[in-house]
Amino acid sequence: MKNGFEMGYPTSVSFNREDILEKLSLSLSKAKSIEEMLSILRQRLKPIFGTTSILLCRLNEDKITYSIDHLLSISDKQSEFFRVYQESPCDYFDNYFNKVVEAGVPLFLEIDSHGIGKGNGIAAIFTMLRAEEVVAIPILELNHDFALFFDKSSGNGTDPENLFILCKSIALYLRLAFSKIQETKLLTRAIELHQQERRLHTILATCYTKKEVKNWLLRHFLPYIGAEHANISIISADYERYCMFLDTKKTTDDQTVSFAFRCSGLNLSGSVIDLVFTSRTLQKEIIIEENGAEINMYNIPLIDGDHVIAVLSIYTPNDHDINLKAIEPFEASIVEKLLFLKGQEEQLRISNERAFIKELRLALSSVYTSEGFLPILSEHLRKIWEYNDIALLIPLKELTRDGSYLNHFEAKRRAHPYFKEWLTNCLSSLTELQTCNEEYSVEVYDVKNLPVNKALKAEHLAFCKETGIKTALIITLQNDGKFIGSLMLFSEKTGFPELEPFFKFSLSFLLSLTTNSLISKDLLATKEKQRRSLIDLGKSLASFQNSIDLFDFIFNGLTNVISFEKASIVLVKSVEKQFSLLTINTFQNHQSDNLILSDTQWENIAGHQLLKLVVKKDATFMEAKDLPNELRPFLTPTSENSEPTTIGCFPIPIEHDISAVLFTTFPTDTDLEQATERFNMLVPYLTIALKNAKSYESLKKREQEQAQLLELSNQFAAIKSSEDFSHIVNEKLKKIFYFSHSVIGLIDEGGETTSPFILDPHSRNFNHPKFDEIVKNNRFSMKCPLFQKPITSGQLELFKTEEARHDRSMPVFVEMNYESGIKEIGVLAIKVEGKYMGFLLLFSDHDNSFPPEKLGIIRGISSQIAVAVSNLISSAKIAKQFQQIESYKRKLEEENLLLHEEIKTHYEYSEIIGDSPLMQNVFHLIDQVSQSDSTVLISGETGTGKELLARAIHNHSARKNKLMVKINCAAMPANLIESELFGHEKGSFTGAFERKIGKFELAHQGTLFLDEVGEMPLELQVKLLRVLQEREFERVGGSTAIKVNVRIIAATNRNLQQEVTAGTFRADLFYRLNVFPIMAPALRDRKQDMTMLVQHFIQKYNRKIGKEISGLSQDVMQKLLHYNWPGNVRELEHYIERAMLMTSGKIIKEIGLPENAPLAPANEHASTTVYNNGYSLKESEKQHLMSVLRQCNGKVAGPGGAAKLLGLPATTVYSKIKRLGLSKTYKL
């Protein structure tokens, strides 16, 4: 039997308190850790309290939460409980932890398992451990408050007072043991920290490079103090600037630092570093990163003696993680190591600078041309400075026009629209303002402080801001005290590293020597090039025949000889006092086979200054500001608006009445005497070249005109459509006359008006809101001058829209074209076989678009244009006729097919067979509805003859002479029914190769029979309903509404009322169709008609298969009468046909009805007459009518009359009596 200790739930325990406390004190004094202490405690308490679990909790620094430090339990879920509640703090005021801490003495607490939340850690854990009562013992330490909780079995019979006294003693021993363990831990930690600190000092002492110091920070120092990364900023000796010396985040050092470290970074004043420098104390900053996270930055001054030489910045995302006190022991060592590295880098700088100068001198000694200078220089300068662009500026116009001798700028600056002006004006102004002193200088500027011309300051700053330039470095280049240029470096960063004076002097001196040597070489090469150009020019000018090559030489080649900036040529006709201006754009944009001189536009000369220059025959120079106003249009706009320049005017004679004047612009410092001398040497050659070019162009022009005439004649002769005509006009004639758009107008019948025939698709008036009204659909009087003058003269007549718009007799489209920018209208009357038929109108937005020398071309092709237009008119008429014929043909073919079908149907069913009351009622309904246009809905089972009823309605209606068009809605695929009903346009869907007329359009003025209308898809029912309502529709793919007059007869074997309820048939369509319903009776309901139907089918198939069968046997007839006939009349016809094929005699003895065939229900009205005669259908009808008349004693109308018995109107009976030739043996 187990005792209470073994069961874990003691019921009564007696103990010796002194003995227990003595053993507990001895055991706890040996505990070396909290875990060991808790384990001893549980072992000693278990026999007394039945303890299985102990929980140690610690009050947090915020004093409102506590944390679970340790949990010791025999439960297999111990680790799970501990992990859940160790991750988040618990509420201090949970009536457990706060009670025992505030009481200061042990407490016995019951566990309340109701309403436990996440913050009730103690209650939650002991509830999960199934403890109902716990003992709480406070352990109050100097720095922290702890509380110990262990479970107590509820059945313990020990006196509570003794337990309380025991717990108080245990609390004392626990506090002593806890203090001893904590002191041991602190001592151990202090020893470890001291050892770690010594180890870090030792490692730092062995660091001799910046890389090693950075590794020490990353691997040892930052983990030791609990930070993420750090950097060190050096303060300059003058305490004005600071820069980054070391950063643990950067994987590599800057190349400038690796070359030679210089503190030339940011301004110290107003910065965070300045605050640390001034206060000489630690400063804290909060930094917000790009992702929104907050980083704590601690800036610690590094002091050497009495001066702050650097700032150590420590970064951590969490204040609790960093130990700032651990930094202080290392400050002196870091300062010492920093001073060592600075001295080391200073020695490195001196060594590197000397090596750099030597290397650069050797590299530049191998440069012989300016092309190779910049790449080599850039390669070496990037070892010192980090920059984006470089430019070498020299104030020598002989070598450069924009002041930039050599340069390399990044693409984004070159792409800026103001780049060229900035380079030419702003930077070149630096060389104008710069002077030399005795020392070679290397200066760093903020772009705002660059000494550019004040007038250009705003443009300069705007360009730098938009392209990102922040700093410029200028190296002054001089030779023997004379300024020769500037080497400029541009950077998108702030500042350039500072250089030592001797290094700056050496660099500037070396670059000055090299640049001066290159300039001297290039000047000699330029002079030699000009001399050779002048010699070669005289030889080659006389050989020029092509005006393109000649003007290319004048605008591009001649500048190498005379050194002008811009140029233009003015051709002058002295006698006619006309001029033509040619610029560099004239021949660059010319597209007329090099005929520049022949195709030039002549204008009248205003004034006499230009003629004076021609008569003078000598070069004339004047300042741009003094140039007469009448000569200013001959200068390019850029030349006129540039800096002050000199204008040169050089006359060149060509022929007796034609001369040329070359207008050039020169810089004010140009040697004009030398330019005049060189040009005079070239004048004879230029005269010969211009004469040759003019003669060559005249010959070329005649050849081109002949070729154009031949080509245009052939093309106009091959025109087949108006599109071809417009294409030829736009592609060919526009290249000759440069007009905007064209119109072909035709003289209307009667000759009083003309109207547009072909409109140019490129007309700028198409978008005019009144274009259709004013032009496209209008007719214009032939009496206006616009059409009369071309007919009278037979030539192309020109009209200025500015003048013509004021003439009220002019067409209204003249004003429209004037408003759209048209300046001239050329009108040519075209005629065929001596008769005027129309006009060709050409609209131009330029003046003089129809020069007299080109009018011969248009006159030469006028007859071809007339023939082409005539052919187009004839083709259009023929095409229209063919289209009408094709339309009629398709309609006749459709009607022919339907008529064949109607004839075939009429042949098969010459009339509806039946004399039963049900059929007589149907006949009565047909008589009532036939003469109206009301919509009829015929319902009935399959095979009851619904189509015959529809045809009977049509044949008795006023539409009987028109078509009855049938469409089976069940036999057509759903995607084709719409096309069948409404037709489709060509290309409206895949496979629509031509336009098709739909059934509605074909049934116009007739009847449309919709068979099996209950099978029609819902989406098509909507469109059918619209046609029934609006009496109009659109073809598939069409946009024109087509109105029709159609009567609708619909048939169905379904109960449409039920279909409407089921949602498969639209209710509104049903009500539209169900205007006049007719029910076709089933065969089983009219057995009286069996005899007539059988005889009809026997006669029909006797003719068809060539037999002479007279009837069928009594037995067969009985079978027919008793069969249910689910297929109705159609099924009866098929069985009769098959029986006749199988019968060899004249009487049908076997009918072949299916076995177990359904029998018809008894019908008291069914006829019992046995079919055994051989009468024809007409004779049978006659015999039957005679029998009924005898039965009624000859009475036809009224009660008891034959009409009442037969279920027919009296008028129908009268007509049958007359048709069958019966004698009047009946009574009225």
- Predicted local confidence at residue 1082, as pLDDT: 92
- 1175-1228 topology per CATH: Arc Repressor Mutant, subunit A (1.10.10)
Higher pLDDT, 242 or 898: 242
Pairing of strands 964-968, 1007-1011: parallel
631 pLDDT above the threshold of 90: no
- Predicted local confidence at residue 196, as pLDDT: 84
Q: Where does 718-879 sit in CATH, by number?
A: 3.30.450.40
DSSP 8-state class, residue 1207? T
189 pLDDT above the threshold of 70: yes
3-class secondary-structure state, position 256: helix
Mean pLDDT of 890-906: 57
pLDDT confidence of 158, banded at 50, 70, 90? low
Question: CATH homologous superfamily for 367-526?
Answer: GAF domain (3.30.450.40)
Mean pLDDT of 113-120: 71
Q: Give the DSSP per-residue string, 479-520.
A: ETTEEEEEEEEEESSS------HHHHHHHHHHHHHHHHHHHH
361-375, 659-673, 1102-1116: least confidently modelled range: 659-673
Contacts of 872 (CB under 8 A, 6+ apart): 719, 721, 722, 725, 757, 758
Provide the terminal-to-terminal Cα distance of the chain, rounded to the nearest Å: 131
Q: Which residue has the tokens 């040497």?
A: 681
Task: Please indicate whether the domains covering 909-1079 and 1175-1228 agree at the CATH topology level.
Answer: no
pLDDT confidence of 1217, banded at 50, 70, 90? confident
Separation CA 829–CA 839 (nearest Å)? 4
Separation CA 394–CA 400 (nearest Å)? 8
Q: Where does 207-348 sit in CATH, by number?
A: 3.30.450.40
For 683, the token pair is 């004048």
pLDDT confidence of 1048, banded at 50, 70, 90? very high
- Predicted local confidence at residue 1169, as pLDDT: 36
- Predicted local confidence at residue 12, as pLDDT: 42
Q: What is the value of pTM for the model shown?
A: 0.35
Could you report the per-residue pLDDT of 990-1025, keeping only the tens digit for each? 777 777 888 888 888 899 999 988 888 888 888 888
Could you report the per-residue pLDDT of 450-497, keeping only the tens digit for each? 878 777 888 888 888 888 888 888 888 888 778 888 888 888 887 777
CA angle (686, 687, 692) in 5-degree steps: 95
Rg (CA), the chain: 58
- Predicted local confidence at residue 254, as pLDDT: 45
Could you report the per-residue pLDDT of 842-877, keeping only the tens digit for each? 888 877 777 766 666 666 666 667 777 777 777 777
Q: Which of 319-333, 617-631, 1044-1058, 1167-1181 has the highest mean pLDDT?
A: 1044-1058
- 909-1079 topology per CATH: Rossmann fold (3.40.50)
Mean pLDDT of 1066-1088: 90
910 pLDDT above the threshold of 50: no
Q: Which residue has the tokens 């290039």?
A: 522
For 807, the token pair is 């003439």
Q: Which of 120-129, 199-208, 788-797, 1150-1159 has the highest mean pLDDT?
A: 199-208
782 pLDDT above the threshold of 70: yes
539-543, 627-631, 1087-1091, 1196-1200: least confidently modelled range: 539-543
Residue % of the chain over a pLDDT of 90: 4
Pairing of strands 1076-1079, 936-939: parallel
Could you report the per-residue pLDDT of 404-436, keeping only the tens digit for each? 677 888 888 888 888 888 887 777 777 665 555
Higher pLDDT, 912 or 859: 912
688 pLDDT above the threshold of 70: yes
Could you report the per-residue pLDDT of 17-29, keeping only the tens digit for each? 777 788 888 888 8
- Predicted local confidence at residue 600, as pLDDT: 63
Separation CA 29–CA 266 (nearest Å)? 63
Could you report the per-residue pLDDT of 363-387, keeping only the tens digit for each? 888 888 878 888 888 888 888 888 8
pLDDT confidence of 264, banded at 50, 70, 90? low
CB 647 within 8 A of CB 663: yes
Could you report the per-residue pLDDT of 552-604, keeping only the tens digit for each? 777 676 776 677 777 788 888 777 777 777 776 655 555 444 555 655 667 77
Separation CA 829–CA 384 (nearest Å)? 81
CATH top-level class for 542-701?
alpha beta
Separation CA 1001–CA 963 (nearest Å)? 11
Could you report the per-residue pLDDT of 498-519, keeping only the tens digit for each? 777 778 788 888 888 888 888 8
Separation CA 687–CA 693 (nearest Å)? 10
CB 230 within 8 A of CB 313: yes
The two counts, helices (H) then strands (E), for the chain are 45, 40
1168 pLDDT above the threshold of 50: no
CB 625 within 8 A of CB 643: no
Domain ranges of the chain: 4-189, 207-348, 367-526, 542-701, 718-879, 909-1079, 1175-1228
CATH 3.40.50.12780 matches 4-189: no
